[in-house]
Chains A and B, each alone.
Chain A
Amino acid sequence: MDFLQPPYGLFAPDVDLVVNLPALGKLREKFPSYIFRAEKAQAMARKFAINHILPRSLETDKKCSQDPTYFDWDLWHAANRAKFTVACLPEKLGGLGWSALDNAAALEEFTSACMASTANFVFNVFGLLGSMVECKTGIVLDMVKKMAKAQQEDKPLFYSWAITEPGAGTDMEDACAMQTMRPSCHAQRVPGGYSLSGVKCFITNGSMAHYVIVNMPTDQERPLETMATFHVPTNAKGFFVGRVERKCGQKASQTAEIFFDKVFVPEKEMWEPPGKGFDHTREILSITRGLVGISAMGIARGALERCIRYAANKKTANGRLIDQDWVRFAIADMLKDLHMVRAAGYNFAIALDTFHVWKIFDTAVVKGATLLPGKILMADSLAALANNQLANEAGTRFKKKIVTNEVLDSFVKHGSALKAAGSDLAMKVSSRVLDIVGLDGMAREFGMEKCFRDAKVTQIYEGSNQANLWDFFHEEVGRLV
């Protein structure tokens, strides 16, 4: 498809972070490097989206419709070489040192090209996020080292986060619901650890994962009180992958059933003890829901930009499609909503930097530590030192002081609202642009029908929008009434 590109959005020559969010200008006065780095992340991501994601996303989508287990390794390697797989690690540790704002700016670019492809090199952050919940220094450092090493060797290292099971989706994401759930999974106490059995379904990268972070109760009669979190290598005996699902969209990102048949997990790989599993879920959701909202906003943006390009080039009996009044109103209406959700999205990202785990990087201890030469930081001796009980507990205490329960409540609240807003936007916009461009514009080559197929799931995963609204109500006013 040859387009005269209006130099807009993904095809704008310059970064437009502050153009789109002028209020960032005030922040830039005080913290120039904070904004400058975000602009750099945006520029990097935009270049990658144009050069690597866009040219192949349609083809990959097609290959995956024929074979849901197809994986675009070339794209993954390109992303890995650009360090997007370890972007959130500090630069000293081999990452890009991205703040939450940098992440948001990059995510928007990536997902406006293709969200499913993005998931393949971004979603393994579930591993790091999962380990940061308890923030045991030994575990975190080990995780960081593994990630950095894999990146350097250009070897894939995938983490999946598995909570959903066939009989329980919403029930795994809400405390009240969990109390009444009928679990099919079970973690049985055995000498030296636990034996895990059951099925988890709809697990992103479940078929690719090297490690799975999984929640299971130790007593099926008391799921909330006994839900625990385990870190399981997928080469463990008794773990296997079921079918990879055939989905409506987001096909490049594999979604699989995974089976646990008496998988033994040693005590030390229990990341959360019985009763703490739900808190673990909630803490991850306090971050990921908002990021899904931002990604979904990216889908909407991608659909809209494709529509604008198409409409600017499409001739009709009364001039170009974009010259029709009704089209202009429709586009303006959607752009207006896009701007609103984007503002909320960046507000959320900056709040993550200000109050959530990203804040840890701003503390004197961590800043001091990252001043150490990278060699020392990555050395086994330091890892050994970090991995004793005292150091582990210190890590946990240190982090819980920053990320308090109040902080979590607030992020579940804002994140849930953003997730619902972003995904509703994605669905509404990606559907409406097809009404504008009509049958011709709906042709596969223009990419808009793919945006539409990709969008729907954002209203479902990371908790259905109903579950998100329920949480949002509870946190905003539910406690008061």
Chain B
Amino acid sequence: MSIPKEYFEVVRETGKFAKREFGEHALDWDLNPDPSHITSLWIKSLGLDLPVLTIPEEFSGVGYGPVCQALVVDAMASRCPGVASVFVHHFAGLFPVQFANKDQQTELWGAATGKAGRGIAGVVFDHDGALSIKPSGNGFILNGTSSLTANAQYADWASVFTSDQKGNPICFVVDNRSPGVSLGPNPELPGLKINPFHSLVFKDVAVPAHAILCNPEKSAQLMEQTRDLLHVLTAATALGAARTAYEKALAYARERYQFGKMIIEHQEIRRMIGAMRMKLDAATANLYEYFEENPGPLSRADRKASLVKAFCTDAAFDIIVDAIQVHGGYGYMHEQGLEKLMRDAKVLQVLGGSNPQLLVEAME
């Protein structure tokens, strides 16, 4: 597909930014996931307009679509999938806002673009029906415990998709700083450690009427589109991680001497690295073919996004595991960085629905 020139510029800058700002720290952050790492990184990333990439120009954003977002998170993920995942969920959280009315947009975009506050967004899907709302005045009261959610620790607000008391889909924005909102325990997932998942616990949280983003019909469609955006951005994150693993394996194979030659000279190592390359190329093609079929702001909701996510994250996982193998014992050590990628990729495989589950659902 043809990618606008200006996107490449953004990607180049993002790459430099990622290398400079967290490339060196990713392993340390994995061990010590202090939230201040992300909050200060976020402020720096505003200098590059990264957090406002998707916000329409008329609201002082950049107005770039999903393809550009994918390229950006890929570039970040090649240094740290955990950091990339913060942006992924932020972009997904912002997505529904563009369909709200002007006033709401002005307010919400303002939160993200304004220098006050961090403006990090999140997104909550309530597939299990664990949330309940009951009307109160013009708005309603929200209760329940969400499923595990990324950005829980960072997001000032989140787009929530659930059903109202009549069972109709509803999409609204909840301010995470409002009274009654707290974090559930940290489940300590093995990967994406800098972005610890938590459930959001809502206890009698008052949601005002103007926080409701759209009508039920539109909400259902928006939910699917948002979920699909999350899927494709997750796929892009996996690609970034996989590319790093592939490059590391290739470089190491060229410099490691064993069995009388550089190990790249062994056919079996070539086969493994060849398979990595094949999977990386196929996964990349899979993702960008999706964008070609679905140009613009995800014009159609399509289960295909979940297949793309499953394929790309599975491919990335396989690539990373083999990259560890090529490194022998070194690959298993934290300092090599590959085992972290493996843990990160494992979380990507189940994020937003585990891959086999997604395949089953896609064919329903």
Interface of A toward B, CB cutoff 8 Å: 65, 164, 167-171, 174, 176-177, 179-180, 182, 201-202, 245-249, 316-317, 324, 326, 330, 427, 431, 434-440, 442-445, 449, 452-453, 456-457, 459-461, 464-466
Contact = CB atoms under 8 A, between A and B. Distances in A.
Given A177-B259, A435-B355, A449-B190, 11 more contacts: A168-B258, A169-B329, A247-B332, A247-B334, A249-B332, A324-B360, A436-B354, A438-B350, A439-B354, A444-B187, A460-B329
B335 to A, nearest CB: 7
30 contacts: A164-B329, A168-B258, A176-B259, A182-B257, A246-B334, A247-B334, A248-B332, A248-B333, A316-B128, A317-B127, A317-B128, A326-B360, A434-B346, A435-B354, A435-B355, A438-B350, A438-B353, A438-B354, A439-B187, A439-B350, A440-B187, A442-B347, A442-B350, A443-B189, A444-B188, A456-B342, A460-B328, A460-B331, A461-B329, A465-B325
Interface in B269-314: 269
B95 interface: no
Contacts of B332: 247-249, 456-457, 460
Nearest to A442: B189
Q: Choose among A176, A440, A442 the residue with the greatest number of B CB atoms under 10 Å from its CB.
A: A442
Contact of A177 (B147, B258, B268, B339): B258
A59 B316 CA distance: 30
Contacts of A202: 329
Nearest to B355: A435
B129 interface: yes
A177 B329 contact: no
Contacts of B354: 434-439
A180 B259 contact: yes
Nearest to B358: A435
Interface string B93-132: 0000000000000000000000000000000000111000
B262 to A, nearest CB: 12
Nearest to A65: B31
A440 B190 CA distance: 12
Nearest to B185: A443
Contacts of B127: 317
A246 B333 contact: yes
Contacts of A176: 259-260
Range of interface residues on B (Cβ < 8 Å): 35 or more
B349 interface: yes
Contact of B342 (A167, A248, A437, A460): A248
B189 A177 contact: no
Contacts of B347: 439, 442
Contact of B334 (A169, A201, A248): A248
Given A169-B328, A444-B187, A452-B346, A439 B148 contact: yes
Q: Choose among B187, B353, B360 the residue with the greatest number of A CB atoms under 10 Å from its CB.
A: B187
B202 to A, nearest CB: 18
Contacts of B333: 245-248
Contacts of A326: 356-357, 360
A410 B297 CA distance: 63
B197 to A, nearest CB: 7
A182 B256 CA distance: 12
B227 to A, nearest CB: 15
Nearest to B148: A439
Q: Choose among B188, B347, B355 the residue with the greatest number of A CB atoms under 10 Å from its CB.
A: B188
A167 to B, nearest CB: 7
Closest 3 CB pairs of A and B: A443-B187, A180-B260, A248-B339
Contacts of A246: 333-335
A449 B188 CA distance: 10
A256 to B, nearest CB: 12
Nearest to A177: B259
B334 A439 contact: no
Contact of B189 (A168, A248, A444, A457): A444
A337 to B, nearest CB: 17
A248 B31 CA distance: 11
A36 B33 CA distance: 51
Contacts of B346: 431, 434, 442, 449, 452
Nearest to B335: A246
